Amino acid sequence: MLKKNTIQKSIKHLLRTIELSGFGDKHQGKVRDIYLFGDYRILITTDRISAFDRVLGYIPYKGQVLNQLSQFWFEKTKDIVANHLVSVPHPNVAVAKNARPYPVEMVVRGYISGVTKTSIWKAYESGERVIYGIKFPHGLSKNQKLERPVITPTTKAEHGAHDERLTREEIISRKLVKPDIYHKMEKAALALFARGSDICKRKGLILVDTKYEFADYNGQLMLIDEIHTPDSSRFWKADTYRERFAKGLEPENFDKEFLRLWYAKKNYRGDGEPPNMSKELQIATSERYIKIYEMITGRKFIAGKYPLVKEIALSIKKYFS
């Protein structure tokens, strides 16, 4: 684990964004800066952190943790489905195949939980028993393990919009994805989730739920974006889950819930200008991201040194020269 002091020092050099010259226009997601170059998509994972569907601030080492954790998982799952990763020339950078994304986010859930509008617990709690076209039995409690994982797809919302619930039938009838392809996506998503759960279990973690993005690459189904990171997934500590669940306590988690709580304490729930993150919150969040990386991979987190901008630009130029 990195020393607090090291993390603190990197705060003045946080990777907010990056400008590359000679690689065309920059595209920006909430977390990644993207350059399209030839057949490639260069994804630079920055230190931006989002919650409430917006960027709230910057977390030291977050970009490198996410990028390298995805790299770990892409390697561990490539026998299940092809993925976009070509190379990782720098801890913050992924050179990927540029594919055509399907407009659906494949959310897989092993537990009935969640706080957001699209979570199944919110719907279940308000009395719904058919959610995302799936029938749920009576008598489930919050955070209970589901008999088997379910797929609860959503739209992939445009910038600023919120994801909407979908069902398999809607995806087909609205022609968002062709039936045979969607069937493959379902199979791949469940197999990925099983593999992820398995590996997490051996590391003392529960993979609670996650989101996959798929794309078409010359007729081939391809997993893109990121996989099993703390941005796209929720993790609980396995050893205390049972006891806490039995007592009606919330599981010990590695998700962004503690971040949301910090904002809630400041009376911020996603509308208007967010308050500035404190240094303490930035450091604590950084430690959580690094911790989950180390737990899952079983490797010590080797930090790319701040400031990162020059090194990143150099590594990309070198890779394509």
Choose between 216 and 311: whose C-beta lies nearer to ligand ATP. 216
CA–CA gap between residue 123 and residue 129 (Å, rounded): 8
**Which of 20, 34, 277, 295 forms a contact with ligand ATP (CB under 6 A)?**
34
* SS3 category, 72: helix
Number of residues that bind ligand ATP (CB under 6 A): 17
Based on the shown chain and the rule CB under 6 A, indicate whether residue 219 belongs to the binding site for ligand ATP: no
**Angle formed by the axes of helices 62-77 and 179-202, nearest 10°:** 110
Q: Enter the DSSP assignment of 78.
A: T
Nearest residue (beta carbon) to ligand ATP:
29
Binding segment (CB under 6 A) for ligand ATP, from list 27-35, 201-209, 281-289, 294-302: 27-35
**Which of 225, 234, 256, 290 forms a contact with ligand ATP (CB under 6 A)?**
225
Residues 69-98 that bind ligand ATP (CB under 6 A): 84, 96-98
Residue entry with tokens 């469940």:
190
Strand partners, 93: 44, 90
Task: Tell me which residue of 318, 304, 313 sits closest to 47, measured CA to CA.
Answer: 304
Cβ atoms 99, 217 nearer than 8 A: yes
AA letter at 245: F
Contact pattern for ligand ATP over residues 151 through 170, marking x by CB under 6 A: --------x-----------
Choose between 32 and 288: whose C-beta lies nearer to ligand ATP. 32
| Other CB atoms within 10 A of residue 3 CB | 8
Binding segment (CB under 6 A) for ligand ATP, from list 31-39, 130-138, 168-176, 260-268: 31-39
Binding segment (CB under 6 A) for ligand ATP, from list 24-32, 238-246, 266-274, 311-319: 24-32
> What residues contact 146, with CB distance under 8 A and at least 6 apart?
109, 110, 111, 112
The binding site for ligand ATP (CB under 6 A) comprises 29-32, 34, 41, 84, 96-99, 101, 159, 213, 215, 224-225
